[in-house]
């Protein structure tokens, strides 16, 4: 079976460095935040071309604290897309604000800027584009709309470490950027992790306080904060991985290029990589009207797949209170019915890529 991802092979390739780094944290007893986290934050600041990085315990916390730092709360509205992982929308909900959905552009699976203005009301405070699958959303028009209406832009870059829009790294374009280091993400911790990026020193200061109980000085709590700190072991792991992330990203792009080329001219719809963007292929999602049958077919041909995501958030039961129904966001709904993620990770061997390609070339069933 060709695995969908293999985290073990990457660990083995850097095992000595990782083991040494983890043992170093045990020796130092800096289990929460500490110098390894600070060293990682500095590397990630350079990597994202930003001026401040705050490590937090999850990508969801990064979103939550970014929204809070931007002053968002009850009575406010935040615009995002329903075709995302639920965490994007849950983070908005945690603040008491209301998520307001705008459909995706079907080519990129990211928010359609042409539909944003119709969703803006006097309560709108922010736009939260998601760089889904590792491809940046169309940031220029989003920033222009935000500026004109006085809105904050928070990038959900949980799937897009190192992705670029017109030569600029994601996380540096909006007012705040949010990253996840969940193990399967392009830059993965060995446990949970996340980070907020920003060029705004005030936002940085607030996020830094909120992640650590709202205090700058221990036991002097100026804000109602959270326990959202990044662990020392995760900081040490991530610091080691920063040496390799560019190589791994290029390896993902090479796998994608090979899939693109081999599948051109078949009935499979390959992902659209838009010009002026560096897609980092967290997910390589193909489209097919017979998606569920194709998934079974691939399974029977020894290829593991995933679906990101089968139900758009506006139709999830958890968010029934928003009152949406089928037909509200047709491009998101069609994507949820048709997308299928095929094996993608930096170390995916060429012979396994060939098995995936051969199986896809044997489709469709007669």
Q: How far is the CB of 238 from ligand PLP (least distance, A)?
A: 13
Q: Which is nearer to ligand PLP, 188 or 346 (CB)?
A: 188
62: how many CB neighbours lie within 10 A of its CB?
33
Q: Which is nearer to ligand PLP, 88 or 332 (CB)?
A: 88
Are the C-beta atoms of 243 and 42 separated by less than 8 Å?
no
Q: Is the peptide bond before 165 cis (omega within 30 degrees of 0)?
A: no
Q: Is 209 helix (H, G, I), strand (E, B) or coil?
A: helix
Are the C-beta atoms of 358 and 2 separated by less than 8 Å?
no
Q: How far is the CB of 217 from ligand PLP (least distance, A)?
A: 28
**Contact residues for ligand PLP, defined by CB under 6 A:** 58-60, 84-85, 87-88, 130, 156, 158-159, 180, 182, 194
Q: How far is the CB of 84 from ligand PLP (least distance, A)?
A: 5
Q: Which is nearer to ligand PLP, 135 or 159 (CB)?
A: 159
Q: How far is the CB of 234 from ligand PLP (least distance, A)?
A: 11
Distance CA 253, CA 349 (A): 14
Q: How far is CA 275 from CA 164, 203, 278, in A?
A: 11, 31, 8
HSE-CB of 128 using CA atoms within 13 angstroms: 33
Q: How far is the CB of 185 from ligand PLP (least distance, A)?
A: 6
DSSP assigned state of 322: G
Q: Which is nearer to ligand PLP, 124 or 159 (CB)?
A: 159
Q: How far is the CB of 170 from ligand PLP (least distance, A)?
A: 12
Q: Which is nearer to ligand PLP, 138 or 268 (CB)?
A: 138
The residue at minimum Cβ distance from ligand PLP is 59
Pairing of strands 339-342, 284-287: antiparallel
Q: Which is nearer to ligand PLP, 127 or 158 (CB)?
A: 158
């Amino acid at each position: 079976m060709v695995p969908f991802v293999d985290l073990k092979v990457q660990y083995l390739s850097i095992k000595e460095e990782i083991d040494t780094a983890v043992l170093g944290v045990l020796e130092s007893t800096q289990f929460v935040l500490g110098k390894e986290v600070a060293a990682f934050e500095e590397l990630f600041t350079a990597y994202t071309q930003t001026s401040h990085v705050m490590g937090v315990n999850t990508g969801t916390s990064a979103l939550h604290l970014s929204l809070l730092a931007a002053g968002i709360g009850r009575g406010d509205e935040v615009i995002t897309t329903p075709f995302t992982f639920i965490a994007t929308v849950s983070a908005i909900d945690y603040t008491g604000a209301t998520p307001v959905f705008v459909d995706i552009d079907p080519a990129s699976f990211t928010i359609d800027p042409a539909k944003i203005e119709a969703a803006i009301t006097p309560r709108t405070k922010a736009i939260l584009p998601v760089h889904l699958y590792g491809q940046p959303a169309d940031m220029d028009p989003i920033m222009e709309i935000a500026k004109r209406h006085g809105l904050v832009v928070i990038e959900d870059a949980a799937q897009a470490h190192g992705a670029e829009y017109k030569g600029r790294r994601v996380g540096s374009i909006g007012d705040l950027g949010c990253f996840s280091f969940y193990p399967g993400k392009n830059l993965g911790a060995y446990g949970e992790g996340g980070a907020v990026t920003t060029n705004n020193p005030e936002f940085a200061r607030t996020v830094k306080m909120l992640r650590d109980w709202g205090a700058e000085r221990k036991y002097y709590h100026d804000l109602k904060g959270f326990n959202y700190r990044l662990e020392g072991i995760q900081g040490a792991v991530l610091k080691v991985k920063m040496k390799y992330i560019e190589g791994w990203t290029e390896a993902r792009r090479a796998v994608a290029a090979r899939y693109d080329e081999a599948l051109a001219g078949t009935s499979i719809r390959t992902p659209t990589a838009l010009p002026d963007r560096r897609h980092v292929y967290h997910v390589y999602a193909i489209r097919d009207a017979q998606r569920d049958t194709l998934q079974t077919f691939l399974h029977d041909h020894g290829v593991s797949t995933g679906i990101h995501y089968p139900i758009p958030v506006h139709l999830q039961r958890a968010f029934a209170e928003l009152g949406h129904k089928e037909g509200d966001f047709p491009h998101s709904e069609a994507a949820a019915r048709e997308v299928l993620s095929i094996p993608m990770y930096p170390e995916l061997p060429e012979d396994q890529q060939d098995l995936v390609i051969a199986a896809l070339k044997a489709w469709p069933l007669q």
